[in-house]
Homo-oligomer: A and B are copies of this chain.
Amino acid sequence: MATRAKIIIVGAGFGGIAAAKRLANCDADITVIDRRNYHLFQPLLYQVATADLSPADIAWPIRGLFTRYQNISVVLSEITGLDPAARQLLAGGRRYPYDFLILATGSGNSYFNHPEWEPDAPGLKRIIDATEIRKRILLAFEQAEIADDSATQRRLLNFVVIGGGPTGVELAGAIAELAKVALARDFRHIDPKAARIVLVEAGQRLLASFPPELSDYAQRCLEKLGVEIALGKPVRAVDGTGVRIGETLLPTATVVWAAGVKVEGPGQWLGVETDRGGRVAVAADLSVPSHPNIFVIGDAAKVTWEGEKLVPGLAPAAKQEGRYVADVIRARIEHRPAPAAFRYRHVGSLATIGRNAAVVDFGRFQLKGWLAWWFWGLIHIYFLINTRAATLVLLQWFWAYLTRKKGARLITGLRPLFTHPKR
């Protein structure tokens, strides 16, 4: 190649960061573009929503990750389009030329053709989502405390989590602990322990991707925490008054969406077919068919393993793909033979349910209970991106474990009392 290769990575999630780090010492100019200035440790985002952690505990400025690498620059901008013929990416009114492009844009929430539900049932993808959900949960208790009639009070003390996957399970457990333990003695006119937390799942069991015995265990743990579980009940409607679950209307002011993800961006920019979830089908080397210099990784890519199975939308998968694609690009730049086709190695799945309860599925064997919970905690601490974050999170967990208090119970926002519509 005559000039230095230009590599653009869109998205600084687990996949994008892994690719950039792997390419850091490559003879190329790398640009990481993201519409946010931080990398988010998404597996712990629900703990911001439930007042266990602060945003800065689980998010770090992208720039700070690449301080040492002079060939990596970071651009805060939003992609508006792609011109594959000219090999240019369009973002924030400018054109960024590339030789290789990695699209690692992640996924958003899918409301299954009901986008109108979103304002009343926010999902958990960005920091602002987590602080908004935290605000709604805490405001519901505050409003119940000063409510005049018991119907309003009961409605405000109903909390609905939609979706029984790991995020839904973790959220429901953490909301239950917030209500039944952390807030238990802080109100004078309501009893936070009387709050109803309802976890709704359209399928026949929680944690559908785990073995059935772990699903059962998770359900028993949640029920012990006081969570009501509605299985096989599709959500028919969500609005400001409540949620219609099957034929029943459950009045509530606080709904959290954890039911499905959808990819937006890469398919449209590339003008290629996607699957129903918006994922772009990729070749064996994770490149886009007919665009060998464009790669899609992480949640945005449709990659299969062990035959028909879809590689799950987990951090380890995105990281493996990021590193693999970096190796493919490096081989091409250095005129070396391409690595063999991508092969996903599944490490395991984890979900935590509450204090001293979690499930871990390694495929060959399973863990549950306190051992799984400690394992879950250690793994997450280990993967937190730097020592400062790990220390802070560890300290706060330790504190919460001892005192059973929640440290980040802040209702913030410009007009905290009135932005959440009174219903």
Contact = CB atoms under 8 A, between A and B. Distances in A.
A411 B37 contact: yes
A395 interface: yes
A64 B400 CA distance: 14
10 contacts: A37-B138, A37-B416, A38-B409, A38-B410, A63-B187, A67-B186, A73-B189, A388-B399, A388-B405, A391-B395
A143 to B, nearest CB: 8
Q: Interface range on chain A: under 10, 10 to 19, 20 to 34, or 35 or more?
A: 35 or more
A405 to B, nearest CB: 7
Given A55-B410, A389-B407, A391-B395, 18 more contacts: A35-B417, A37-B138, A38-B409, A54-B55, A56-B407, A59-B410, A61-B138, A61-B409, A67-B185, A67-B186, A75-B145, A76-B142, A76-B146, A94-B146, A127-B412, A388-B405, A391-B399, A392-B395
Most chain B C-beta atoms within 10 Å of own C-beta, residue among A94, A187, A388, A391: A388
Contacts of A389: 407
Contacts of A38: 409-411
Contact of A63 (B54, B56, B186): B186
B412 A131 contact: yes
A149 to B, nearest CB: 13
A142 B399 contact: no
Interface string A7-50: 00000000000000000000000000001111000000000000
Interface of A: 35-38, 54-57, 59-61, 63-64, 66-67, 70, 73-78, 92, 94, 127-128, 131, 138-139, 142, 145-146, 183, 185-189, 388-389, 391-392, 395-396, 399, 403, 405, 407-414, 416-417
